[in-house]
Copies of this chain bind each other. A is one copy, B any other.
Amino acid sequence: MAIILGDNRYGKAENRIVRIFRDESRHEIRDLNVSTALRGDFAAAHLVGDQSNVLPTDTQKQTAYAFAKQKPLGTIESYGLDLARHFVDDVPPVTGARVEIEEYAWERVRVGGVEADHTWVRRGQEVRTASITVEGSGDDRRTWVTGGLKDLVILKSTGSEFHGFLVDRYTVLQPTTDRIMATSLVAKWRFAHAEVDWDAAYAGIRRILVEQYATVQSLALQQTLYEMGRAVLEAYDEVVEVRLSAPNKHHFLYDLSPFGIENPGEVFHADDRPYGLIQASVLRDDAPDPGPAWDAYTGLV
Contact = CB atoms under 8 A, between A and B. Distances in A.
A174 to B, nearest CB: 9
Interface string A15-34: 11111111000010101000
A11 B154 CA distance: 20
A275 B14 contact: yes
Interface string A258-288: 1101011111111111111111111111100
A59 B173 CA distance: 7
A111 B245 CA distance: 22
Contact of A18 (B9, B14, B150, B268): B268
Contacts of A279: 8-10, 37, 297
Contacts of A272: 16, 272-273
Contact of A222 (B8, B243, B277, B282): B8
A7 B282 CA distance: 8
A16 B166 contact: no
A95 interface: no
Interface centre among A49, A124, A154, A274 (most CB of B within 10 A): A274
Interface size class of A (residues with CB under 8 A): 35 or more
A220 B45 CA distance: 7
Contact of A214 (B116, B220, B263): B116
A283 B8 CA distance: 12
State the number of copies, please. Answer: 4
Interface stretch (A74-82, A136-144, A194-202, A247-255): A247-255
A70 B59 CA distance: 33
Contacts of A177: none
Interface string A197-228: 00000000000001101110011101101100
A50 B300 CA distance: 33
Contact of A62 (B48, B172, B281, B299): B172
Contacts of A297: 277, 279
A62 B219 contact: no
Given A8-B280, A55-B165, A282-B5, A256 B66 contact: yes
Given A58-B173, A120-B155, A256-B66, A14 B300 contact: no
B55 A168 contact: yes
Contact of A46 (B1, B66, B226): B226
A22 B266 contact: yes
A65 B169 CA distance: 13
A128 interface: no
Nearest to A12: B274
A214 B118 contact: yes
23 contacts: A3-B282, A3-B284, A4-B282, A6-B241, A14-B275, A17-B267, A17-B268, A20-B266, A31-B270, A46-B225, A49-B222, A51-B162, A51-B165, A54-B166, A54-B220, A56-B165, A56-B171, A59-B168, A63-B170, A66-B256, A111-B211, A119-B154, A169-B259
